[in-house]
Structure 1
Amino acid sequence: MQPVDLTTLNAICAELRSQWLPARLEQVYQRDAFTVCLALRTLDQRGWLTISWHPQAARLCIEPPPPRSPDTFTFSQQLRHQIGNLALVGIDAIAPWERVLDLQFGQRPGDPPIWHLYAEIQGKYSNLILTDRDNQIVTAAHQVNLQQSSVRPILTGQPYEPPPRLTTPIPSLQEPKEQWQERISLIDAPLKKNLMKTYRGLSSALVLAMLRQAQLDPEQTTSSLTSDAWERLYDTWQIWLTQLEKETFHPGFTPSGYTVLGWEVSEPAESVQTVVRHYYQEQLNRQEFSQLRHQLLQKVSNVLQKLKIKADGFTSRLAQSDQADTYRMQADLLMAHLHTWQVGQQVINLPDFETGEPIEIALAPTKTAVQNAQTLYKQHQKLRRARGAIEPLLAEVVEETQYLQQVEAALQELSEYQDPEDLQALKEIREELVQQNYLEDPAYRSREQRDRSESQPYRYASPNGLEVWVGRNNRQNDQLTFRTANDYDIWLHTQEIPGSHVLLRLPPGQTPDHEDLQFAANLAAFHSRARDSEQVPVVYTKPKNVYKPKGAKPGMTIYKQETVIWAQPGHFRQKPPIHLESLSKT
């Protein structure tokens, strides 16, 4: 993930100073453990300034309003109490070429600051610290005690000390080319390494972009550079410093991330805030998606393994109960031939009632023939009772296994992050597993359920322009089948295979062509556990023929009057179907 470096931070501050000063602080809301949102109002506009001290995505930018869920963090309550309704009168770096900003708050615009909110945007050492006018720390997002750091503890009541300053030279427009070149080439090493070690304020992303702009190899040693190469690099260096000094930035997205210098831009952006907001939201979504998907898949896989062991045990005990009739038959034979029994016998051979073939029956030598027969009758009754008890338990295990296989299929469908809808669909699966008591997270449940935006199903266009809707998870499957579907639609699902519910949407009175029906069936097979098969049986019927059994888990249905059609998911493995959302964007 590309960090906010000094260049980006200067670009952010330049925009904030020009558009959001002075501003009234109307509200403070803490979104999560690493992010605080400040509601600012100027004479012309109102917005939310997001300040994050996330170890990988520390940033400062204007973002949309946060969700309306309760804020239970102590840090935001302290900020609200101390600086609420004050005026933001200044945003300045505490020193040149430092990534620490001083957000200054006064009683009203033009007044001297009485509170300072220091935003330290420094990677894993990022922090947000509130001090009074005497620079005494009042509260901090992340307090650091003496055991954690003896160099720079951050504790309430202590004076605020800036992070230790770097000793490397500061880049300057006035520095002669000869001195600049001499500093960089003092030790013969790769160009990228020497640039970052020689001057402060440089990030890896900036140096790489600068070297590509100058058409140089980052691993090229300084001793191998020609005079023309040094000239190109110095010109690029001067362009960078000029943009910093004049605050003329050109934000945009690049193939590898973003830039505020206009270099290698693949998609221009209207503002630095837009670039920072979209990039880091996208990266954090991807990170959360990957972690959550791994967590859910691991949990579902573990439960399925336990259910398999339980089902194997029940099946084994049922196999044993199949011998119940054998015990009864042996007991009947013994009772019918009591006269052939002798004291102390351990084995007796008696003719079968039907075939006359001899049957060997084991006996307890210390018991009489009647007592041995009673023991066999008891064993028969015991196994019969066991079958009656085990069969419903095995049915429950099979039903639960089918449900979790459906969940697992939905998780496997969400193989990679493409848009925020994918993350929302994953969160809905997590919520479903919490509700079904597979996950325990009461804090998540109470916080997320109050403000939840539901994800939407996949939407595709058939060859003749009909819409085909595909559920992303069990919640969407139930929504499509029992709420969205009307009498004219066609419902499709893979036969006896976990997968998504699919709706072929039809206008009133229209019947689907075979081409459209085959397209929808291929989609049903593609969005199932049989995606890698050559041919997959898919059933289709009217939505009115689909039912949810009483007490059934989400996504589980039964159907009738179905027709089977063979689908070929491989068609979409070679050429993925086009989303209607993608068509609308183009």
Structure 2
Amino acid sequence: MSFDGLFTHAMVTELRKNLLTGRIAKINQPYQNELILTVRANRKNWPLLLSADPTYPRIQTTQIPYVNPAVPTNFAMMMRKYLQGAIITAIDQPANDRVVRLTVTTRNELGDAEQLVLIIEIMARHSNVILIEAKTNRILDAIKHVGADQNRYRLLLPGATYIEPPKQDKVDPFVPNQDYRELVRQFPAEAVLSKALQQHYQGFGRDSAQQLAADLHQPGDLAAHYQDFLAQFDAPAPTLLTLPTNKTMFAAGRFDHFGDQTRHFDSLSALLDFYYADAAQRERVQQQAGNLIRVVRNDLKKNRNKLKKLEQTLANTKQADELRVKGEILTTYLYEVKRGMTEITLPNYYQDNQPLKIKLSNQLSPSRNAQKYFSRYQKQKNAVVYVSEQIKLTKAEIDYLDSVHTQIELAAPADIAEIRQELTQQGYLKQQRGKKKQRSSRQPSQPQEFVASDGTKISVGKNNRQNDQLTLKTAHKSDYWLHTQKIPGSHVIIHSDEPSDQTLAEAANLAAYFSKARDSATVPVDYVQVRRIRKPNGAKPGFVIYEGQKTLYVSPSAELVEKLTPAK
């Protein structure tokens, strides 16, 4: 289901249980539109995610690791100033809307107690996280500043008065009412009823309205169906459903109108962590690596166009032998060539004296015409060597950029800094002006570790620095190396000199999954011992050559990857 008002109601129920009376211990803004408050409550630290992402806005506790920027943002510093050490005294949702208000008690600079309200508005591209004073409704700061040129109804700027989002003329479904009976009477058709429910009740997404409409069409008491439907959001049962299209859907309870329940979770937050793990990561990477993706795509386009021109030039150079033959025939029959002629037909003694038409310049002498053909022949002959070398270099450049593009697509946000550094070192990105080269205090990221079914350790490099380090320095010569055949992807190392067939198959699945062919049905994966791997002098990062390999064909499986991921 969507993160509508009903799901927000269920999430507020969960957050009240876990976070009320908790103290805000840490505040971080790891990503542009996301704030994470570490709340100490019930003898446990709860990382509370407030996301104003336009695609995946939400509020939840999260266990997905994140990496903080080297320098905190201005918004993060403001939140630390006002919220560090504050106590959460209330978590409310106004009228089943997609708005959550966290009321906190803190002390101002004079030591006096004051109340602040942290508001998250979950409204697609209009989503926002706003901190206001409880008494005056004065905005202290917002994660997205909205001026008068963007919204005439309300300003979301520091110092402005907070105005709630425009209210809709809808009914709070949790307030006792009998409106659903009248709606069922007026709109007997299920599809029409679902639209009427969505238009009449506050906070109903399309899927919630469709599920309630289906319930109200079941035999039995309408009141019981209505109350049972709402009751599940007061005691949510986090569920992942599989739809007939094989896509998945999250729900806070029974949504059997859409598909079968395939997995249950201990909390709504754990459900969202699982559901959004990949999609949200991709969104974060897109935000952080937007300029990297643009640079790589532009260079790929430029090199692919260059390759086409080089290949056309090489095709043209295949006429070199024809130029040489014409030059030799002209030299042989020079006495028949007269100055001022524009063409001549002579017997081609290389092809049984078949007539050969040769174009001439009427401005040149017969001998100079022959020399011109020999000169053009020599020029094209020399071009073959140069163009062939340029084609080889351009293909290597395309392969490298294609591999980097794949790494960005598969990267976690923590990997982006290393990819950016690599592109800067390789000259694709310019060093920022006024920014001196300095050694980063951040520890280099490490390859991702997996454990095969028989306990064998498997390592997967996630970028070229990790790939080179893993294959050429960390791995033993007797370990086994895997990589998708002629497809950009990660280096995979099996830390064993005699891996079982099952371990080889599982490692091959990892190699296919962490490659450009992740969504393919059958992927060829080469494997060979590390001793047969070498890196040519001057080769691009991540590039190696090998021999004596064998090939496995596998179908990438996200379920198997999850199974091989060690428990934390």
TM-score, normalized by length of structure 2? 0.72
Compared CA separation, residues 493 and 174, structure 1 to 2 (3 A): closer
User: Equivalent residue for 2:477?
Assistant: 487
CA drift at 1:22: 3.3
User: Equivalent residue for 1:219?
Assistant: none
User: Equivalent residue for 1:548?
Assistant: 535
User: Equivalent residue for 1:196?
Assistant: 198
CA drift at 1:150: 3.0
> Which amino acid is the alignment partner of residue 8 of structure 2?
L
CA drift at 1:35: 0.9
Compared CA separation, residues 322 and 502, structure 1 to 2 (3 A): farther
Compared CA separation, residues 268 and 441, structure 1 to 2 (3 A): farther
User: Equivalent residue for 1:182?
Assistant: 182
Compared CA separation, residues 314 and 425, structure 1 to 2 (3 A): farther
Matches within 5 A, 1:290-439: 302=301, 305-322=304-321, 325-326=324-325, 329=328, 333=332, 344=340, 364-368=361-365, 371-372=368-369, 375=372, 378-379=375-376, 382-387=379-384, 389-401=386-398, 403=400
Compared CA separation, residues 421 and 155, structure 1 to 2 (3 A): closer
- Whether the 8 Å CA contact 1:469–1:503 is kept in 2: the answer is yes
| Cα deviation 1:107-166 (Å, max 9, x = unaligned) | 359975343322223344322222234112232223333343333343443322222333
- Whether the 8 Å CA contact 1:169–1:198 is kept in 2: the answer is yes
The alignment partner of 1:129 has SS state of strand
| Cα deviation 1:258-292 (Å, max 9, x = unaligned) | 34446666534333433344434444246668999
- Whether the 8 Å CA contact 2:407–2:489 is kept in 1: the answer is no
The alignment partner of 2:114 has SS state of coil
> Which amino acid is the alignment partner of residue 168 of structure 2?
L
> Which amino acid is the alignment partner of residue 279 of structure 1?
Y
Compared CA separation, residues 400 and 137, structure 1 to 2 (3 A): closer
- Whether the 8 Å CA contact 1:3–1:56 is kept in 2: the answer is no
Compared CA separation, residues 555 and 86, structure 1 to 2 (3 A): closer
CA drift at 1:487: 3.2
> Which amino acid is the alignment partner of residue 152 of structure 1?
R
CA distance in 2, matches of 1:271, 1:346: 88
- Whether the 8 Å CA contact 1:490–1:542 is kept in 2: the answer is yes
CA drift at 1:421: 7.7
- Whether the 8 Å CA contact 2:317–2:384 is kept in 1: the answer is yes
- Whether the 8 Å CA contact 1:5–1:202 is kept in 2: the answer is yes
1:122 aligns with 2:123: yes
1:274 aligns with 2:275: no
The alignment partner of 2:8 has SS state of helix
- Whether the 8 Å CA contact 1:25–1:40 is kept in 2: the answer is yes
Compared CA separation, residues 452 and 354, structure 1 to 2 (3 A): closer
The alignment partner of 2:87 has SS state of strand
User: Equivalent residue for 2:224?
Assistant: 235
CA distance in 1, matches of 2:558, 2:170: 54
CA drift at 1:58: 2.2
- Whether the 8 Å CA contact 1:348–1:362 is kept in 2: the answer is yes
CA drift at 1:34: 1.6
CA drift at 1:545: 3.2
Matches within 5 A, 1:208-247: 208-211=210-213, 214=215, 228-229=219-220, 231=221, 233-242=222-231, 247=234
User: Equivalent residue for 2:563?
Assistant: 582
Q: 1:456 aligns with which of 448, 454, 457?
A: 448
CA distance in 1, matches of 2:188, 2:508: 64
1:70 aligns with 2:57: no
Equivalenced residue count is 541
User: Equivalent residue for 1:417?
Assistant: none
CA drift at 1:315: 0.6
The alignment partner of 2:96 has SS state of coil
| Cα deviation 1:366-415 (Å, max 9, x = unaligned) | 4445555654564455445544543432332343355567678x689x9x
Compared CA separation, residues 428 and 299, structure 1 to 2 (3 A): farther
> Which amino acid is the alignment partner of residue 193 of structure 1?
K
RMSD: 5.4
- Whether the 8 Å CA contact 1:457–1:472 is kept in 2: the answer is no
> Which amino acid is the alignment partner of residue 54 of structure 1?
D
Compared CA separation, residues 311 and 457, structure 1 to 2 (3 A): farther
The alignment partner of 1:113 has SS state of strand
- Whether the 8 Å CA contact 1:260–1:272 is kept in 2: the answer is yes
CA distance in 2, matches of 1:128, 1:496: 46
| Cα deviation 1:172-192 (Å, max 9, x = unaligned) | 5654x6x64125434555232
- Whether the 8 Å CA contact 2:423–2:429 is kept in 1: the answer is yes
The alignment partner of 1:396 has SS state of helix
The alignment partner of 1:107 has SS state of strand
Compared CA separation, residues 192 and 367, structure 1 to 2 (3 A): closer
> Which amino acid is the alignment partner of residue 167 of structure 1?
D
User: Equivalent residue for 1:221?
Assistant: none
The alignment partner of 1:169 has SS state of coil
CA distance in 1, matches of 2:230, 2:299: 54
Compared CA separation, residues 257 and 427, structure 1 to 2 (3 A): farther
- Whether the 8 Å CA contact 1:425–1:455 is kept in 2: the answer is no
Compared CA separation, residues 94 and 404, structure 1 to 2 (3 A): closer
CA drift at 1:302: 3.7
CA distance in 1, matches of 2:255, 2:340: 100
User: Equivalent residue for 2:545?
Assistant: 558
The alignment partner of 1:70 has SS state of coil
TM-score, normalized by length of structure 1? 0.70
Matches within 5 A, 1:442-521: 453-454=445-446, 456=448, 478=468, 481-489=471-479, 506-507=496-497
> Which amino acid is the alignment partner of residue 78 of structure 1?
M
User: Equivalent residue for 1:97?
Assistant: 96
- Whether the 8 Å CA contact 2:303–2:394 is kept in 1: the answer is no
User: Equivalent residue for 1:258?
Assistant: 250
CA drift at 1:87: 1.6
| Cα deviation 1:434-466 (Å, max 9, x = unaligned) | 7656689989xx9x995774553887679xx98
CA distance in 2, matches of 1:85, 1:521: 47
The alignment partner of 1:148 has SS state of coil
CA distance in 1, matches of 2:231, 2:528: 68
- Whether the 8 Å CA contact 1:88–1:103 is kept in 2: the answer is no
Q: Which runs of 5+ in 1 are unaligned?
A: 217-224, 415-419
CA drift at 1:498: 7.3
- Whether the 8 Å CA contact 1:35–1:50 is kept in 2: the answer is yes
- Whether the 8 Å CA contact 1:460–1:577 is kept in 2: the answer is no
CA drift at 1:60: 1.9
Matches within 5 A, 1:4-43: 4-42=3-41
Compared CA separation, residues 503 and 318, structure 1 to 2 (3 A): farther
Q: 1:284 aligns with which of 280, 283, 291?
A: 280
The alignment partner of 2:448 has SS state of coil
User: Equivalent residue for 2:245?
Assistant: none
- Whether the 8 Å CA contact 2:198–2:206 is kept in 1: the answer is yes
